[in-house]
Amino acid sequence: MDYKKTDASKTTVTNDNRLLEDKVGNIYEAIVALEKRSNQIGSEIKEELLSKLDEFATHNDNLDEIFENKEQIEVSKFYEKLPKPTLIAIKELLDDQLFIKNQNEE
């Protein structure tokens, strides 16, 4: 999924717990599923950010040459403005884009 184009809110939104519970069947299972999905999303975003920042990195061992890399700053600011992984996971769940496998059912 392209997290840059998600329409998840960028600020905290109060959600009705019953909506989450209705999607999964149990509020605790919903919370666990959202936690796991938000960790996945966070890891993917972090890997993408680090790979983009690595393109601009200088591999000098000299500490005297400290300078600002404007490209790195712009990339970092862009990723800071993205919605938080938890909000993206909640949006996926509410939009029925998240599949939750029940461990008890076979």
Q: What confidence tens digit (pLDDT) does each residue in 10-33 have?
A: 888 888 889 888 888 889 999 999
Say which range, 12-16, 64-68, 94-98, has the weakest mean pLDDT: 64-68
- pLDDT band for 64, please (50, 70, 90 cuts): very low
Would you call 59 exposed, middle or buried from its count of C-beta atoms within 10 A (0-12, 13-18, 19+)?
Answer: exposed
Mean pLDDT calculated for residue range 59-67: 55
Block residue for tokens 């909000």: 87
For 81, residues 6+ apart whose C-beta sits below 8 A from its C-beta are 10
**pTM for the model:** 0.79
Mean pLDDT of the chain: 83
Cα 19 to Cα 104: distance, rounded to the nearest angstrom? 22
Give me the sign of the Cα torsion angle 80, 5, 15, 44: negative
Mean pLDDT calculated for residue range 74-91: 90
- Reported as type and span, the H/E element at residue 56 is helix 27-56
Residue 8 C-alpha from the chain's centroid: 10
| pLDDT for residue 85 | 92
| pLDDT for residue 3 | 74
